[in-house]
Amino acid sequence: MAEALKLLIVEDDQGLQSQLRWCFEGYDVLLAADRASAMAQVRRHAPQLVTLDLGLPPDPANASEGLAVLEEILSVAPETKVIVVTGNDDRANALQAVALGAYDFYIKPVDADMLRLIVDRAARLYELEEENRRLARGGESPLAGVITTDPGMLRVCRMVERVAPSDATVLLLGDSGTGKEVLARAVHDLSNRAGKRFVAINCAAIPENLLESELFGYEKGAFTGATRQTIGKIEHADQGTLFLDEIGDLPLSLQAKLLRFLQERTVERLGGRREIPVDIRVVGATNQDLARLIKTGDFREDLYYRISEISIDIPPLHQRKGDPSLLAHAFLERFAREQRKPRKGFTSGAIDAIQGYTWPGNVRELENVIRRAVIMADGPRITAEDLGLSSSEEPEKPRLLREARDQAEYDAVVTAMGRVNGNIAQAADLLGITRPTLYSLLDKFELR
Ligand SMILES: Nc1ncnc2c1ncn2[C@@H]1O[C@H](COP(=O)(O)OP(=O)(O)OP(=O)(O)O)[C@@H](O)[C@H]1O
């Protein structure tokens, strides 16, 4: 069944808010009473539809706050259908809202049936446009490089598509190997920075003392060994996107510097005196629990708010329905083509094992397991054993003697070659065969 569309009702009159809430059955209704809570809902849930009262606190008699919210929503999520609700003497502001990109307006007093009609029409249009966007992107594949049919993951893809065109900072939260870098690239590729650089840096992989100069660059003579001026990753990404992987591992001193950069949008190279303006979009990713790091004082709360204007939770692979076997087939096809190996299928036991395993290393682990199996498996089909996944599968049929012999030969050759560090003469001796025979076995198993 299709998922309910999300409808955000922005209304400061509590009575009207609860009245409206009940007339939108079938929608996933979210509520907000002011600008801050409305934007928090938009960032967290990316509602497709919004009804927006233009008269919001702190100055409910005036439409300026409502119009500001409208602009902010459309800058974060331009496809959102916003219906503005105004007082009956406020036609001018209603028209201005439509000029700013609102889908429609509705003049109070609210007639719930009428408003519902407008929202339903907006919803239909939204779905139509969404379907067109999907087809334009090339059918089933939700994002380049992302293979999935899981509803949770499709939601993630839609969110990426929706936030990509804005300049909001995006924080991708997910375990190792869930595809954070793939999604960060998608954010870049779908933004208007696509033609510019995508610069990635892994904050956990670089020692603290080097990370600062990697990020901010340095002038000649800034420190011993600084023999020439070097620009940092931030400057390198100018006009493009900077991907800060493992941002939870950023040392506190650099968190302060990064925060300053995000506020000022200028960098000062180490040993430099000039503030250099840099225009980048920042995407961060982490597999750490930032809330816990904030509590223990290891991550700055103010930086967290800066980098997570939009935060996206990526589900682990074992929670994605049907994806493990879908990905396994896709990887099998890809690696077989790359290795010029015949494309074997999986046994049903292998598929059960793939679907049943918890994949702690997520998509990367699955990718590695399939790559190895494509190289190593010598039976007609890839089994759970080939994948290194213990399985309760009974062999589907008695193994052919030839297969058993091949496997034994393969094991013996690999063990002997390993023991003598690849020396052919010694390995042949060890195996009690001639060198030509060993050569032909190496060819047979493509081990040369
Ligand atoms: N949904 C997907 N479809 C196809 N390939 C994927 C998908 N998700 C991830 N991959 C592949 O899995 C590998 C790991 O993905 P990626 O590097 O993006 O993960 P990550 O979350 O950034 O990992 P880490 O936290 O360890 O840096 C990559 O080779 C990527 O191409």
Question: Does residue 208 surpass a pLDDT of 90?
Answer: no
Output the residue whose Cα is nearest ligand 1's atom 29. Answer: 364
**What structural domains does the chain harbor?**
6-136 (3.40.50.2300), 151-313 (3.40.50.300), 318-376 (1.10.8.60), 401-444 (1.10.10)
Give whole-number Cα distances, 220 to 201, 215, 355, in Å: 23, 16, 55
Percent of residues, the chain, with pLDDT higher than 90: 55
> Residues 143, 190, 334, CA angle at the centre, nearest 5°?
35
Task: Say how many Å lie between the CA of residue 103 and the centre of ligand 1.
Answer: 37
Question: Does residue 395 surpass a pLDDT of 50?
Answer: no
Task: Say how many Å lie between the CA of residue 190 and the centre of ligand 1.
Answer: 18
Site to substitute for ligand 1 among 182, 244, 365, most atoms within 8 A of C-beta = 182
pLDDT computed for residue 366 by the predictor: 96
- What does pTM read for this prediction? 0.61
Q: How many CA atoms lie within 13 A of 105 on its CB side?
A: 23
Output the residue whose Cα is nearest ligand 1's atom 13. Answer: 364
pLDDT computed for residue 396 by the predictor: 45
Percent of residues, the chain, with pLDDT higher than 70: 94
- pLDDT tens, position by position, 37-60: 999 999 888 899 999 999 998 888
pLDDT computed for residue 222 by the predictor: 85
State the pLDDT confidence band at 401, using cuts at 50, 70 and 90. confident
- pLDDT tens, position by position, 404-415: 778 788 878 877
Q: What's the CA gap between 407 and 151, in Å, rounded?
A: 41
Q: Is the peptide bond before 58 cis (omega within 30 degrees of 0)?
A: yes
State the pLDDT confidence band at 140, using cuts at 50, 70 and 90. low
pLDDT computed for residue 151 by the predictor: 86
- pLDDT tens, position by position, 146-187: 988 888 999 999 999 999 999 999 999 999 999 999 999 999
Site to substitute for ligand 1 among 143, 170, 181, most atoms within 8 A of C-beta = 181
Q: What's the CA gap between 213 and 123, in Å, rounded?
A: 49
Q: What's the CA gap between 246 and 177, in Å, rounded?
A: 12
| Mean per-residue pLDDT, 232-254 | 95
Q: Which atom of ligand 1 is nearest to the CA of 172?
A: 21
Task: Say how many Å lie between the CA of residue 176 and the centre of ligand 1.
Answer: 8
Question: Does residue 363 surpass a pLDDT of 50?
Answer: yes
Q: What's the CA gap between 414 and 434, in Å, rounded?
A: 16
CB contact at 8 A, 106 and 83: yes
Residue 151: Cβ within 10 Å count: 13
Query: Which residues, other chains included, contact 172 with Cβ-Cβ below 8 Å and sequence gap of 6+?
Result: 180, 183, 184, 283, 284, 285, 286, 311, 312, 314
Question: Does residue 13 surpass a pLDDT of 80?
Answer: yes
pLDDT computed for residue 394 by the predictor: 44
Tokens of 20: 């409206």
Task: Say how many Å lie between the CA of residue 143 and the centre of ligand 1.
Answer: 13
| Mean per-residue pLDDT, 265-282 | 94
